[in-house]
Amino acid sequence: MNRGSSRGVVITGGGSGIGLAAAKKFLEAGDRVVISGRGGPRLKAAVETLSMIQESKGRIWAVQADLATQNGAEALASQAISHLGTIDILVNNAGLNLKERSVAELSTERWRAVLGGNLDSAFLTTQAFLPSFRVQKEGLIVYINSIAGIRGNPLGGAAYVAAKFALRGWAVALAAEEKANGLRVTTIFPGEVNTPILEARPNPVSEEHKIAILQPEDVASAIYFVGSLPKRALIPELIISPSHYTYI
C-alpha cells in the first residue's frame, strides 16, 4: 500500500449494501474513507466490519447525518474535510424507497420523503462539497442512480422514478457547468441489486431472486473502476445490469 498516493473518499449511504461494499474496495486499495448514513447502529457495525481490513486503522471514519437536510449535508462536508483534508471522490449513494409505490397510494408526505431521500440528499450533499472541489480545481462525483432513472418502471414506483429521472438531469447539468473547475461527474445506473432496499418492496423478495440479481460488490467494482481512471478520462454514464436481464 502506498500511503503517499491514498485518496480521500466520501461515501453516502455507507452503512450497508453498495456503499459498504464500495468503502471496502477503496480501503483495500489504501485510500482514506468517510462513510455516512442516518442510522447510528448500522454505521457503527459498518466501521467495525471495515476496521478488520488489513492496515485500515486510522483510515475509516463514520459521520451520522440526515442528508435530506442542509444542516446534515453541511455537517458531513465539514467533518469529512476535517478527517480527510482533500476530497478526491464523493460517492452519492444514499437513497430510499417505500412500500406504497403506486400513484393511488402516493400521498404528499410519501412523495416528499422519496424525493428527499433520493434527490434532495444528492443535491444538498453536492452543494456542501462543491466549494472544496472548486478550490482544488479537480475531483470526481459519482451518483448511484438506477435503471429506473432511464426507463420508468412501475416496480420502482412513480415517486422513485421521478426522483431518479431528476437526479440524472441534475448530474448532466452539474457536469456541464463545473467542467471548467476540473470536476468530473459520473452516474451509474444499476439494475436490481441485493441490498436492504429490497425490504421496501410491496411483495417479499425470495432468496433465490436475491442470489440471481446484482450483488453490492458488483456495483462497488464499477464505482472503483470509475474512480481509478486517470483525470484525462471520464465515463459520464454507466449501466450495470444482471446478466440474465434483457435490456430493452
Q: Which residue has cell 418502471?
A: 153
pLDDT band at 248 (very low <50, low <70, confident <90, very high): low
Per residue in 113-152, pLDDT (tens digit) is 999 999 999 999 999 999 999 999 999 999 999 999 999 8
Per residue in 11-51, pLDDT (tens digit) is 999 999 999 999 999 999 999 999 999 988 999 999 999 99
Listed by start position, the domains of the chain span 3-240
- Three cell numbers written together for 198: 429490497
Q: Return the pLDDT at 2.
A: 37
Q: What is the DSSP letter of 51?
A: T
Tell me: pLDDT of 153 over 90.
no
Quickly name the fold that domain 3-240 has: Rossmann fold (3.40.50)
Phi, psi at 90, each rounded to 5°: -115, 120
- 140 neighbors 90 (Cβ within 8 angstroms): yes
Among residues 163, 114, 87, 155, the alpha carbon closest in space to that of 171 is found at: 163
Among residues 65, 77, 121, 76, the alpha carbon closest in space to that of 96 is found at: 121
**217 C-beta neighbours (distance < 10 Å), count:** 16
Contacts of 228 (CB under 8 A, 6+ apart): none
